[in-house]
Amino acid sequence: MKFTTLGRTGLSVSQLCLGTMNFGPETSESDSFSIMDRALDHGINFFDTADMYGWQQGEGITEQIIGKWFAQGGNRRERVVIATKLYAQMGKDELKDWPNTGFVSALHIRRACEASLKRMQTDYIDLLQMHHIHRAAPWEEVWEAFEVLVRQGKVLYVGSSNFAAWHIVQANEAARRRNFLGLVSEQSKYSLLQRDIELEVGPACEAYGVGVIPWSPLAGGILAGVIRTSEGKRRYNDWVKHLVEEKREALTAWEDLCGDLGEKPADVALAWCLSRSFVTSPIIGPRTLEQLDGSLRALEIELSGETLEKIDAIFPPFKTAPEHYAW
């Protein structure tokens, strides 16, 4: 396994991040345990989750599975950099529709942190991320709440997810005024089929030392092979089917290129993601041990300048990023 540092911190994380969103809804508890154990065997030390995962409001099913896995001992907790997220409405039963059970107020930050700690059976969270921007919450309130958690030792680092570039700049400038570390990571949707963050988010993160953790680097599996491989037999929803038809020419060229390289499309897509200068660790979301094992090949693929140019010809980048709008 190859390691890098998380943004401008000294924290070492694996260049592949284990996404746990499938744990519970798609992957059984026992299979989830096996996947996490295998990830450690491979040297993957960076796990990502969220309080809302499990898709039953207020239950935090995925975090509970991780907590039970930690509780088995064997230095599992000590070997993992655990990242989770808050924002979603987490009230249940009589509190299901009650105010202040979601978003990013100081009150919810405190409650969400305590609830995640309890579900994951740990006394600290390595990286606590805001799942979305909360425009109603002033940064003074947000940072004061996180500062308390950091001083208490319950949170080590703070990150964001799905933020615009100006949110990241605004957040870190506010943190700078408070002599607080601020955001050290940003989790954004990023793949060859969605390169929007190259315009501003990626460059802003690079300028501020914020590591980018791409989610959906395979574009929901579309980049794993849907035209010529067995992956094309997977069941997709109507939106994905529409996208495949819309991008069929490009996807065909993509799979032909990967065939010429002698590599699986999924592995090349991850390798391309890892080649971006602002990327820290793409999130992989295996449902099975086989999918986890297969993803490691991406770390061994070196894409030449010529190959990168061919990829850009198939999936055009924003040529003038990061100053696309400047003149």
Query: Integer distance in angstroms from the first to the last C-alpha of the chain?
Result: 43
For the question of residue 124 being annotated catalytic, the response is: no
- The catalytically annotated residue of 53, 87, 157, 208 is 53
Q: What is the 3-state secondary structure (H, E, C) of 1-48?
A: CCEEECCCCCCEEECCEEECCCECCCECHHHHHHHHHHHHHHCCCEEE
- Parallel/antiparallel/unpaired status of strands 12-14 and 81-86: unpaired
Task: Tell me the CA distances in angstroms from 73 to 78, 135, 179, one per residue in order.
Answer: 9, 40, 37
Helix (H, G, I), strand (E, B) or coil at 84: strand
Total Cβ atoms within 10 A of residue 169: 18
Q: State both tokens at 137.
A: 């919450």
Residue closest to 90 by CA, chosen among 104, 80, 78: 104
Give me the active site residues, please. 53
